[in-house]
Chains A and B, each alone.
Chain A
Amino acid sequence: MEKLSFRLAAPRSAGGTRAQAIVGVVASGNLEVLLERSLPPDICTIDIATAAHGFGMVWDAVVRDFAARRSAGGLRISINDGGARPDTVALRLAQGVRKIEEPER
């Protein structure tokens, strides 16, 4: 298991009021993403535990694009990765933001 941590400047803060959201499942080629609204609105942290070793450069590129393009400010994100491909990671992160922005019932 490889562990990676990123602390990123986030130009846009996450909308909505939900305190947390979870998307995905830990399975081979998939990942689970937990998002918690617990940071200052211009910061996003991402902690990754991954089964695939040696992809640090790719993770770096994926999470930086995510923080720059999506409204990730204020989110503390934890990822449990089963060796998902970068496109799946980017999709789950985007789905996570959409979920935490959903109106509360």
Chain B
Amino acid sequence: MSDWGMQKAALGERLAAGRQHAKGKVVPTPSLGAFLKAVIRSGDRVCLEGDNQKQADILASALASLEPGDVRDLHMVQSGVVLSAHLDIFEKGIARRLDFSYSGPQSARIARMLFGGKIELGAVHTYLELFARYFIDLTPNVALIAAVSADKDGNLYTGPNTEDTPTVVEATSYKNGVVVAQVTEIVDKVPRVDIPGDLVHFVVEANRPFYVEPLFTRDPAAITETQILTAMLAIKGIYAPYGVRRLNHGIGFNTAAIELLLPTYGEKLGLKGKVCTHFALNPHPTMIPAIESGWVEQIHCFGSEVGMEDYVAARSDVFFTGPDGSLRSNRAFCQTAGLYACDMFIGSTLQIDLEGHSSTVTTSRIAGFGGAPNMGSDPRGRRHPSEPWLKAGAEAAPGTNAALRRGRKLVVQIGETFGERNTPLFVERLDALELARKLDLDLAPVMVYSDDVTHIVTEEGIANLLMCRSKDEREQAIRGVAGYTDIGRARDAKLVEQLRQRGVIQRPEDLGIDPLDADRNLLAARSIKDLMLASGGLYRPPSRFRNW
């Protein structure tokens, strides 16, 4: 006969131990170390909240300051391994096992520590996958989260950067785990309740805001003519013919160029209202001119973006905002929206191989996946039709019964044939394979799989992989837009010309685009200052982007 209720009893013991160091729910900052030692047990699964944007940085430092003699062998289950403290925890032996999603700035150190055996890797996930596992087999015993403010009952206000918090709290608190929040300040009444207080056990007043990285700010001044050309090709050669209204953009400069061409080049093509009306997208500053000129009906956000808070609040017709006026973001919902409710993902990558697999991994770095593989994949569970989805499906399988034919999400990889330091975008063999070999991983970390990619756009043209009928055609279609890279120069010129005749490959001139028209004057904003002016002063760029 089982003794039921053991988890609730264990939670009760932890909470009682924690209360020794708290006044009600409030933990004084000087007691934070002793408090964490009291509520965390060796071997616990711990979610230290942080993703590619917001970070529970105070709690991360406090956890890293514990001694492995007191707490050890933790299993960290978290979206982002981004702060140096996140890895110090492993360096000291406080944590041993890791399941994560994104590691941006720590990508080189995390690879070194994996090689050195300091970290036992569970798996690298997409955000949605890791969130899903929080509810199945990776449920946290303790969640250390971040919010803007709390009241004494633990009600939390997360401000525009709600992001992962509701998901983490849902999984932890409803399964007998402990939830601890760092907040900038404790107030009498929170501006809105993002997380109800009965799910939050303790709060720590940090007296300063949690860290947020302005990851989605692209300076228009750095956009090149070649990137503008790729943007013109994408708009005229993909957005227009498919009529793409619901979509997600990556964070690269090519898509920033697209955003800044909508009110100029897009307007000239008569596309306003016909494309780019609904987005799953963070509040990119480069979207301001398109929003201001009435292109965009609605945007749902994964997170916020530093400096965009007032602008978003003033554009509640477009963005999702709360009764307090500020943005409500939610990563899990927005990832789901990007997966199921968008007809297109378009983004940049670092390497594309001859089959069309693409990866942002280099041999010495594990950057993780974040959300791109969910955005950049064809959802097999989709059932609702739309014009672009049906058209793409028909191109992939023209001879089949339309009523039984799956549509296809448009998954577009866009980039210049050579990247920084003249590194070719196209390769024979992905570095991800070498990394998988060195780390003895079952799977090479591939960002977008070949069978999900539908188009590749470079300055040389567009390759429509939906219309390729054999492996050989696919390879030549890729070589045919690979420019002067080794891959591009080794093309079968005759076959590439045949593919062009069939419209599988489209050159700028086939689309009536003169590369000489790809001029920076086409950009609706040519600097961060232009963006600020276009927002009527509502966008407040972070100081690192201000050069005036």
User: Are A91 and B484 within 8 A (Cβ)?
Assistant: no
User: Are B489 and A88 within 8 A (Cβ)?
Assistant: no
User: Are B489 and A94 within 8 A (Cβ)?
Assistant: no
Task: Please tell me if A55 contacts chain B, counting CB pairs below 8 Å.
Answer: yes
User: Are B516 and A98 within 8 A (Cβ)?
Assistant: yes
User: Are B418 and A85 within 8 A (Cβ)?
Assistant: yes
| Bound CA–CA A98/B518 (angstroms) | 14
From the candidates B416, B422, B459, B483, name the one contacting A52 in the complex (CB within 8 A).
B422
Question: Count the A residues whose beta carbon is within 8 Å of the partner chain — how many?
Answer: 15
If A86-B417, A91-B226 touch, does A61 touch B484 (CB 8 Å cutoff)? yes
Task: Please tell me if B224 contacts chain A, counting CB pairs below 8 Å.
Answer: yes
User: Are B489 and A87 within 8 A (Cβ)?
Assistant: no
Task: Please tell me if B515 contacts chain A, counting CB pairs below 8 Å.
Answer: yes
Chain B residue contacts of A1, Cβ below 8 A: none
From the candidates A52, A87, A94, name the one contacting B417 in the complex (CB within 8 A).
A87
| Bound CA–CA A60/B434 (angstroms) | 31
User: Are B489 and A91 within 8 A (Cβ)?
Assistant: no
Task: Please tell me if B310 contacts chain A, counting CB pairs below 8 Å.
Answer: no
| Bound CA–CA A41/B136 (angstroms) | 74
If A55-B422, A58-B484 touch, does A87 touch B416 (CB 8 Å cutoff)? yes
Task: Please tell me if B530 contacts chain A, counting CB pairs below 8 Å.
Answer: no
Task: Please tell me if A83 contacts chain B, counting CB pairs below 8 Å.
Answer: yes
User: Are B516 and A88 within 8 A (Cβ)?
Assistant: no
If A62-B484, A86-B484 touch, does A91 touch B225 (CB 8 Å cutoff)? yes
Task: Please tell me if A13 contacts chain B, counting CB pairs below 8 Å.
Answer: no
**Which size bracket describes the interface of B in this complex?**
10 to 19
Closest 8 CB pairs of A and B: A86-B484, A85-B418, A87-B226, A87-B459, A58-B484, A61-B484, A61-B489, A87-B416
| Bound CA–CA A55/B459 (angstroms) | 19
From the candidates A57, A86, A95, A98, name the one contacting B418 in the complex (CB within 8 A).
A86
Would you call the interface of chain A mostly helix, strand, loop, or mixed?
helix
| Bound CA–CA A61/B516 (angstroms) | 20
Chain B residue contacts of A88, Cβ below 8 A: 224-226
- Name the residue on A nearest B489 (C-beta): A61
Cβ contacts A to B, 9 pairs, < 8 Å: A58-B489, A86-B483, A87-B417, A87-B418, A87-B483, A88-B225, A91-B516, A94-B516, A95-B516
Residues of B477-534 whose CB lies within 8 A of A = 483-484, 489, 515-516, 518
Residues of A72-105 whose CB lies within 8 A of B = 83, 85-88, 91, 94-95, 98
User: Are B422 and A83 within 8 A (Cβ)?
Assistant: yes
Closest Cβ–Cβ distance, residue B160 to chain A (whole Å)? 36
Chain B residue contacts of A85, Cβ below 8 A: 226, 416-418, 422
| Bound CA–CA A85/B459 (angstroms) | 12
Chain A residue contacts of B422, Cβ below 8 A: 52, 55, 83, 85
Chain A residue contacts of B225, Cβ below 8 A: 88, 91
| Per-residue contact bits, chain B 24-50, to A (CB 8 Å; 1 contact, 0 not) | 000000000000000000000000000
If A86-B417, A87-B416 touch, does A94 touch B226 (CB 8 Å cutoff)? no
Chain B residue contacts of A62, Cβ below 8 A: 484
Residues of B392-425 whose CB lies within 8 A of A = 416-418, 422
Identify the B interface with A (CB < 8 A): 224-226, 229, 416-418, 422, 459, 483-484, 489, 515-516, 518
Closest Cβ–Cβ distance, residue B426 to chain A (whole Å)? 13
Closest Cβ–Cβ distance, residue B539 to chain A (whole Å)? 28
| Bound CA–CA A85/B483 (angstroms) | 11
| Bound CA–CA A88/B515 (angstroms) | 11
- Name the residue on B nearest A97 (C-beta): B516
- Name the residue on A nearest B509 (C-beta): A69
Other than A86-B417, A91-B516, give 16 A-B pairs with Cβ distance below 8 A. Answer: A52-B422, A55-B422, A58-B484, A85-B226, A85-B416, A86-B418, A86-B484, A87-B416, A87-B417, A87-B484, A88-B224, A88-B225, A88-B226, A91-B225, A91-B229, A91-B518
| Bound CA–CA A58/B422 (angstroms) | 11
Closest Cβ–Cβ distance, residue A28 to chain B (whole Å)? 10
Chain B residue contacts of A91, Cβ below 8 A: 225-226, 229, 515-516, 518
- Name the residue on B nearest A84 (C-beta): B422
Closest Cβ–Cβ distance, residue B234 to chain A (whole Å)? 16
Closest Cβ–Cβ distance, residue A62 to chain B (whole Å)? 6
Chain A residue contacts of B484, Cβ below 8 A: 58, 61-62, 86-87
Chain A residue contacts of B518, Cβ below 8 A: 91
| Bound CA–CA A7/B450 (angstroms) | 42
| Bound CA–CA A57/B226 (angstroms) | 21
| Bound CA–CA A57/B489 (angstroms) | 10
- Name the residue on A nearest B227 (C-beta): A87
Chain A residue contacts of B483, Cβ below 8 A: 86-87
Closest Cβ–Cβ distance, residue B313 to chain A (whole Å)? 39
| Bound CA–CA A88/B418 (angstroms) | 10
Closest Cβ–Cβ distance, residue A94 to chain B (whole Å)? 6
| Bound CA–CA A94/B515 (angstroms) | 9
Residues of A3-18 whose CB lies within 8 A of B = none
Chain A residue contacts of B459, Cβ below 8 A: 87
| Bound CA–CA A66/B515 (angstroms) | 13
Chain B residue contacts of A95, Cβ below 8 A: 516
Chain B residue contacts of A58, Cβ below 8 A: 484, 489
Chain A residue contacts of B224, Cβ below 8 A: 88
| Bound CA–CA A61/B488 (angstroms) | 11
Chain B residue contacts of A94, Cβ below 8 A: 515-516
| Bound CA–CA A30/B522 (angstroms) | 20
Chain A residue contacts of B229, Cβ below 8 A: 91
- Name the residue on A nearest B418 (C-beta): A85
Select the residue from A52, A85, A86, A95 with max chain B CB neighbours within 10 A.
Answer: A85
Chain B residue contacts of A83, Cβ below 8 A: 422
| Bound CA–CA A5/B489 (angstroms) | 20
| Bound CA–CA A88/B225 (angstroms) | 8
